[in-house]
Structure 1
Amino acid sequence: MDNARDLRERVDDLLFQHDPGRLSTEEFLGARFDAGLAWVHFPEGLGGLGLPRELNAIVEERLAEAGAPAPDASRNGIGLGMAAPTLLAFGTEEQQRRYLRPLFTCEEIWCQLFSEPGAGSDLAAVATRAVPDGDTWVVDGQKVWTSGAHNAQRAILVARTDVHVPKHAGLSYFVVDMSDPGLDVRPLRQITGEAEFNEVFLSGVRVPDADRIGAVGEGWKVATTTLNNERVAIGAGADREAGQIGLVARRWREEPELRTAAAHEELLHWWVESEVTRIAGERVRQQLAAGQPGPESSAMKLAFAQQAQAITGFALELDPDAGLLYDDWTMVRSASASFLGREPGFRYLRAKGNSIEGGTSEIMRNVIAERVLGLPAEQRPDKGVPFNEVPR
């Protein structure tokens, strides 16, 4: 069978039977999911057709040509890029059927309850506790730097379920209903003046055991899959001149008065760096066709953070006055995590967070050194020590 031709016919049939011009975005995306055209590499009945991952590009291209709506990654990037592949890898069939469709249609927005005030770079040190109570778990603790929690209906949570074993072995992974009355979401104001991040307090939050993803004590294994997918989503741009370099290159072409020889040399340098990173990202994406991403995704995330900060700085060097332009310094609670459409001053400030979110650049270097290059590991005095015996 010609999979590519079959896919094109399936897309044409979807468009014929479900006119995107007449349906709401949610209705069309639901029909797309039911047709197996959400993620074609997912199993049948779960938004896919069991085909190779690279064939997704055919679906995306033909739907874009038809002007059909796509899932809003700026609102639900955590759900689409992190929760969905984790559910596919570790979720039960019941969990997959419950969560994947409304996740894809963005009827349910997801957030990530991982980092804590004392456990960010060292995620395995999380202290939020989940204690069994019959067929539910009672969760108490605090999370921080939670993107989009103020708009989310669901969350992926890592919590400690056993303090008597070493830190990596005592974690479990859950899906949390963000409407639980024990959840308190508070904004964290950023240097940009906005508050896309939050701190989240959990007090007696009850999570059914049916919403545990993976086995008890396997939370670190499940979370690693989530984090590797996150780093691919952050760092591996698919299109040439996507992201910050595209904005600068476009302005360079449209405003010749900004051009100087020195600026031209720097622009070429960052254009090449961005293109190298994009091509390397394609290799990482190809790895996904054979399974889950590996530690190489850390290199993509590290390169992305460095380049975003350098290029947004270069954009201000091109036109220093643009750095003084700013829409609004009051605290904004945006529903979108995208800042590419914003003015240069905002992008410059927001890019400072790229070296923290999704894992700090320092931790990315450690992962690359130890797990990619095979260099000796740093000394870890708490390795093999039960969590409740580690000084804190």
Structure 2
Amino acid sequence: MNARGFTEEQEEFAAAVRQFAAKECGTREQRAVLTDDNREQHHDSIYAKIAASGYLGVSIPEEYGGSGGGILEQVILFEELWRGMVPVHGAGTSHTVAGVYKRYASEQQKKDVLGAICAGEVMSISISEPGAGSDAAAISCKAVRDGDVYRINGQKTWCSDAQFASKILLVARTGRGHRPHDGLTMFEIPTSTPGLDIRPIRTMGGGAEVNDLFFTDVEVPVTAVVGEEGGAWRQVMAGLNGERIVCAAQGLGMAQRSFDDLLGYLREREQFGAPIGSFQAVRHRVADLAIEIEASRALTYDTARRVAANEGAPEELVRATSMAKVKVTETAKRVALEGVQLMGGYGYTLEFDMERHLRLAIPATIYAGTNEIQRDIISSTFGLRPGRS
């Protein structure tokens, strides 16, 4: 193992993904073409190339077309893709969906969906609604069984990547129970299904990576249920540790790329006859950023190893993954914001990437459970819960 604790195979994998990113997206000109001049975050041709390289199946079992790796290889992949600014936003949602299917889907569903992910199809997952964001117990999008089909009506929102996904893993209400989260069920919905209307939402990220979904008498067969009817909440919760670690890996890649770009600028830009990186006020701020990134990297990979080994009580792993998500995404935001400040006027011009780094880092603290919700989760693992009137 090397200093980062990687095996030789893991180090080679990280280097291969980094080389791929440099070859395909290494220049601003390449990225401008692939992202419609920084307006979009996903490009089908790059995604297809990653699939052909076998990277998308890194944590999917071999019998479904993957390479059989685990959460650690997944973290390596996402750190390097996001550090390389590779426009493959759909990879994150696809791997979240893959985690659900690996645990709960039928054998046929696994063959269909996990194989499709390895081959380069994007999958999406939809939980949030206009009145049910952080409070998933308030979900009202309804699925009613009628013989051999379910009929779905309602609205969803903030659904990432639905506009270019082949299927959406939908959480809808099929009933009520004693607990607020009872009666929620997962369905796989092909995006071509009649009655499904997908409307992109423009965001500060520059594109439309999230969507509103409208279901009007959408019919799916009973075989579209993923897992158990009424068991969606347990199924969602089981995958949150993996989702948070992927978010941390993405944040780590963003933070490192912002730092790399800032360092290059500080070494080249001169004021008062010297590189601005030579001034003590700047050097100390750079040192602080480097410390934060290294602390974030250690937390991310240590937590990933603990999750992979199932090391610790369930609440300890939940605490650790929530901590990683908060720490690393906040670090990514801080590094990009400091980058804008230290680059001065150039930091917020479209001529440099730093303004884009900041636009992408801010929403990382919001999606996959806001950092405020993560802090609630962390404090609850210490027995500190909100009081009830």
Q: Same fold (TM over 0.5)?
A: yes
For 1:200 and 1:353, the matched residues in 2 are separated by 20
Q: What's 1:368 paired with?
A: 378
**2:129–2:155 Cα contact (<8 Å) kept:** yes
Amino acid at match of 1:368: I
> Which of 68, 74, 88 does residue 89 from structure 2 map onto?
74
Per the alignment, do residues 162 and 113 of structure 1 end up closer, same or farther by CA in structure 2, a change over 3 Å counting?
A: same
Relative to structure 1, the CA distance from residue 274 to residue 138 in structure 2 (aligned partners, 3 Å threshold; closer, same or farther) is: same
The structure whose residues are more often helix, as a share, is 2
Trace 1:198-209 onto structure 2 (pairs within 5 A): 198-209=211-222
In 1: Cα distance, 2:50 partner to 2:205 partner: 35
Residue in structure 2 matching 1:245, options 259, 269, 279: 259
How has the CA–CA distance of structure 1 residues 246 and 209 changed in structure 2, closer, same or farther, with 3 Å as cutoff?
farther
The percentage of counterpart residues that share the same residue type is 27
Unaligned 5+ segments in structure 2 are 1-6, 11-45, 81-85
Give the Cα separation in 2 of the matches to 1:223 and 1:285: 19
The equivalent of 2:119 in structure 1 is: 105
Q: Does the CA contact (< 8 Å) of 1:322 and 1:343 recur in 2? A: no
Asked if 1:271 is matched to 2:285, the reply is: no
Amino acid at match of 1:178: T
Residue matched to 1:167: 180
SS of the residue 2:125 aligns to: strand
Q: Does 1:300 align with 2:324?
A: yes
Show CA shifts across 1:179-226 (max 9, x none): 112111112222355322211111112222222221111100111133
> 1:113-262 residue pairs with structure 2 within 5 A?
113-236=126-249, 242-255=256-269, 257-259=275-277, 260-262=279-281
Q: Is the 8 A contact 1:32 1:38 kept in 2?
A: yes
Change (3 A) 1:317 1:286: same
What is aligned with 1:356?
366
Match of 1:389?
A: none
Deviation string, structure 1 residues 4-52 (Cα, Å, up to 9, x no partner): 9999xxxxxxxxxxxxxxxx9859946959xxx933x654412357677
**How many residues are paired up?**
331
**Distance 1:379-1:203 versus aligned 2 partners, 3 A rule:** farther
Q: TM-score, structure 2 length as denominator?
A: 0.74
Structure 1 length as normaliser, TM-score?
0.74
> Kindly tell me: are residues 227 and 124 of structure 1, through their superposed partners in 2, closer, same or farther at Cα, counting changes over 3 Å?
farther
Q: Which residue of 2 aligns with 1:47?
A: 65
Deviations 1:99-133 (A, max 9, x none): 11111221x21122111111111123211111112
Q: Determine the C-alpha separation between the residues in 1 that align with 2:205 and 2:254.
A: 28
Residue 67 of structure 1 corresponds to: none
289 and 228 in structure 1: CA distance in 2 versus 1, 3 angstrom threshold: closer
- Measured in 2, the distance between the counterparts of 1:99 and 1:27 equals 19
